[in-house]
Amino acid sequence: MAGTAIRQHAAAHSFHLIDLDQLDDSQPLTPKDTSYTSHEAYTSHEPRPSTTFPHTLPPSCTDNSADLIHLGSSDTTLRDLAYSPSSPPDYPVHDFLLSGYGYDPLRPSDSSPIHNPRTPSPFPSSDIGREVLTFDYPLSPPPPLIMATQTITSTWEQGGARPNPLNAADAPFERYRALPSPRLSTPAAVVRSEQTDKLQQAIMASWRGSEPGPERTAAIVALLARLTALVNRHSYVDNPRGNRYRVDVFGSVSWGGETKKSSDLDLVIVDTRLLQGYIPSLWKVPVGGQSLGSSRGSRTPQNDKVPLIYDMYWLANKLRNTPGYSEVTPITKANTPIVKFKTGGLECDINCNDMGGWYNSLLIQAYARVSPYVFRPMIHALKKWAAVHNLNDYTVRSKTPTTMSSYCLTLMAIAYLQKIEALPNLQKGVVVPPECDPTDLRQRDAIWISWGREQGQLAHIWFRQEAPAGWTTKHPHLTAAQAVFGFFRYYCGQRGERDVFDPRTQFVSVLNGGILIRPHPQNTLTRERQDFRQRMDPNTSREEVVRAMAEYDYEIDSQEKYMGTAAGKIAPRKWDEKRLVVQDPFIWDKNCAAGMSKEGLDRFFKTAVASYRLLEDADTSLTDLLALKV
């Protein structure tokens, strides 16, 4: 009945009916022009980038032209729809707000064009069909993220323009493609240095040889376009204009850090209406709430406050049903849920709007721009060294000892170059709140990540895009080979040796400009806690002991909200027992080396010490370093 009414009304008002089953998801978006004022703007296999509505309406508004006229007007607003005489009270346009935070990024203003979030939807899920009704009027960009307050000046203004996920040109991959590849434009001075240094010659040759060909780059660009079209097309209920999502690439491929021509792709679906990510109002468990208590083997409940595209099972199903995608596997039991798949010779991992890796890539890229012919080839050599010696397997379920991620290794390299003043601190000047509140949305330079957790993680994403004015390297003639040798010497020198890293009393912190003294030497807090327990009266009851220890732990933990960047006297208690601490530059209480097993740490330091001793011979080449037997 409703479908008939819609068709009759569409015929009377010259609307267009599209059968989504006839659309080809494997084809990229191919606009013929930018006017978008007619369905002719897109080729026949593409959906209209305009407002779409499921063809089945709730019972109380079926066959009612008044609501259809409201929906079909380019001036229709949420207020119009909410107060339309025939709008059913059982299907509110929106009924959840960010309790206590002042705004809702999923909710457009009452005067903005209609957007149709999935939860709660004015259309019952059982009634949603494959046929949609489209309306012809100009495409407008998605609404900007509404901040809780307009009185806070963003600290991004201190260091230049903020990278904007809404702007594809700000993406690390687009920034890298926009300039000549450093691997193909090595200055003559760097080439001359290779003639007298066997290791430098080998590192630079290997680095330049890892440049991906134009065919691979073109394949990545085409894949991003296809996936962008696919996710926008299949999310028409939450994305009526067809422009809410954009698929982007992050990780080593995005900033030119791959060590071989066929590196895997890390992809992210950028949600332009949730640029701050997994904000507190969207947490599966609210602030102060109880854990869901789901076992690791069970499926994590889908958050009913976000669109279906955030459900990795739903996304995997769409990919499986699209020609050209194979070996599609959702991985949901992770901090960042992903879908793994293969297409066109590319192995890919894709997540939805977990933007931590995207900003990590931008930060690394910014450092690489400062030192393209030292930092870039240095990282290339270290990553190849780690791979060949099985030192970059950071998966907990691996059969081998858990070592470190490439990201952790990269942070250690940046921190070393900062230590010797070959790189600046691009985060110097970040505004540090006097008290860290992970639920405070007034923090303009913050996002929330880890959609797989019950509660999100706060990430402070501010950094400078360029070196501070007046900064110059202390080592203008430093080579990549010297940097690699210095890396091994510094991190793995013998105790008592001058100016080497001591993991018991120091930690790695790119955020703070290199290497810092731990607020407490390793295991200090653990020993103090044990001493507190031992000083108790032996006759103390078990209940009193438990209560006293809980109060002791609470007092210690409550101090962490004042830690800032950990440059003072307070650091997370979870760092205390860790042999190696590599601070995440955005998630300030996170140790990127926390997942390393004892065996993995032993292997890393043992191999690094052997590599340092090998490189003391001036005739050592990269081949010798990679062939080292430990």
Q: pLDDT confidence of 190, banded at 50, 70, 90?
A: confident
Residues 171 and 124 in one domain: no
Report d(CA 252, CA 143) in Å as an integer: 31
> Which of 410, 387, 391, 382 has its CA nearest to residue 601?
391
Domain end position, chosen among 370, 387, 418: 370
Overall number of domains in the chain:
3
Instruction: Find the mean pLDDT for residues 93-114.
Output: 31
pLDDT for res 79: 33
Report pLDDT for 397: 57
Q: Which domain holds residue 50?
A: 2-134
DSSP annotation string for 602-623: HHHHHHHHHHHHHHTSTT--HH
Q: Is residue 505 located within the same domain as residue 599?
A: yes
Q: Which residues contact 88 (CB under 8 A, 6 or more apart)?
A: 58, 59, 60, 61, 122
The answer to whether residue 90 scores a pLDDT higher than 70 is no
Q: Are residues 359 and 470 in the same domain?
A: no
Q: In which band, very low, low, confident or very high, does the pLDDT at 162 lie, cut at 50, 70 and 90?
A: low
Which CATH number covers residue 478?
1.10.1410.10
Which of 370, 387, 416 represents a domain boundary (last residue)? 370
Its pTM stands at: 0.73
CA atoms of 51 and 135, how far apart (whole Å): 6
**pLDDT value for 538:** 86
For residue 275, what is the domain's CATH number?
3.30.460.10
- Residues 224-232: what's their mean pLDDT? 96
Same domain, 68 and 175: no
- Identify the band that residue 512 occupies on the pLDDT scale cut at 50, 70 and 90: very high
Q: Does residue 323 sit in the same domain as residue 421?
A: no
Q: Bigger pLDDT: 365 or 123? A: 365
Task: Give the whole-angstrom CA distance, residue 530 versus residue 367.
Answer: 43
Report whether pLDDT(355) > 70. yes
Counting other chains too, the contacts that 340-343 makes at CB distance below 8 Å and 24 or more residues apart are 341/316, 343/223
Q: Measured in Å, how far apart are the chain's first and last C-alpha atoms?
A: 75
Whether residue 98 sits in one domain with residue 173:
no
Flag the least confident range among 317-331, 435-449, 472-486: 435-449
Most confident of 67-71, 75-79, 167-171: 167-171
Res 313 pLDDT > 80: yes
Residue where a domain terminates, one of 84, 119, 134 = 134
Mean pLDDT throughout 111-116? 33
Residue 585 maps to a domain: yes
Residue of 140, 135, 93 lying closest to 118 (CA atoms):
93
**Phi (first) and psi of residue 132, to 5 degrees:** -125, 155
What one-letter code names the amino acid at 197?
A: D
Say whether both 591 and 502 belong to one domain. Answer: yes
Residue at 547 is within a domain = no
Distance, CA of 91 to CA of 526 (rounded, Å)? 55
Question: Rounded mean pLDDT of 179-199?
Answer: 81
Distance CA 337, CA 19 (A): 31
Instruction: From 330, 208, 312, select the one nearest 258 (Cα to Cα).
Output: 208
Q: What's the chain's length in residues? A: 630
Average pLDDT over residues 341-348: 94
Lowest model confidence (mean pLDDT) among 46-60, 330-344, 510-524: 46-60
Which residues of 198-261 form beta strands (DSSP E)? 245-250
Region 166-195: mean pLDDT is 83
User: DSSP letters along 310-331, please?
Assistant: G-HHHHHHHHHTSTT-EEEEEE
Whether 468 and 588 share a structural domain: yes
Cβ proximity of 548 and 536 under 8 Å = yes
In a shared domain, residues 481 and 591: yes
Residue 52 has pLDDT above 70, yes or no: no
Instruction: Let me know if residue 157 belongs to a domain.
Output: no
250 pLDDT exceeds 90?
Answer: yes
Residue 288 buriedness (CB in 10 A; 0-12 / 13-18 / 19+)? exposed
Position 77 confidence tier, pLDDT thresholds 50, 70, 90: very low
The pLDDT value given to residue 495: 62
What does the block give as tokens for 222?
A: 């085409």
Are residues 464 and 170 in contact, defined by beta-carbon separation less than 8 angstroms? no
C-alpha 290: how far from its chain's center?
27
380: number of Cβ within 10 Å: 26
Q: What is the pLDDT of residue 158?
A: 42
* Lowest pLDDT segment from 190-199, 285-294, 532-541, 568-577: 285-294
In a domain, 398, yes or no: no
Residue 225 makes CB contacts below 8 A (sequence gap 6+) with 28, 29
- The residue among 380 and 288 whose pLDDT is bigger is 380
Determine which of 25-39, 523-537, 542-556 has the lowest per-residue pLDDT on average. 25-39
Taking only the tens place, the pLDDT of each residue in 253-278 is 999 999 886 678 999 999 999 999 99
d(CA 210, CA 377): 10
Claim to verify: residue 569 and residue 504 sit in the same structural domain = yes
DSSP codes, 486-500: HHHHHHHPPTTSTT-
**In contact, 161 and 277? CB cutoff 8 Å:** no
Residue 539 lies in a domain: no
Look-up of token digits 């590192």 = 203
pLDDT of 533 > 70? The answer is yes
CA–CA distance, 264 with 220 (Å, rounded to integer):
11
Residue 185 resides in a domain = yes
**Rounded CA gap, 573 and 527, in Å?**
12
> Would you say residue 312 lies in a domain?
yes
Q: What percent of the chain has pLDDT over 90?
A: 45
Same domain, 127 and 175: no
Residue 554's pLDDT is 86
How high is the pLDDT of residue 402? 86
Alpha-carbon distance of 479 to 485, in angstroms, equals: 10
State which H helix or E strand residue 385 sits in. Answer: helix 375-388
Place of tokens 């890919």: 348
In a domain, 537, yes or no: no
Identify which of 141-145, 294-298, 495-499, 524-528 has the greatest average pLDDT: 524-528
Residue with tokens 């052997």: 610
Q: What is the pLDDT of residues 415-473, one digit of tens each?
A: 999 999 999 999 998 988 888 888 888 877 899 999 999 999 999 999 998 999 999 99
**Residues 167, 128 within the same domain:** no
At position 52, the amino acid (one-letter code) is T
Is the pLDDT score of 157 beyond 80? no
Q: 2: which DSSP letter? A: H
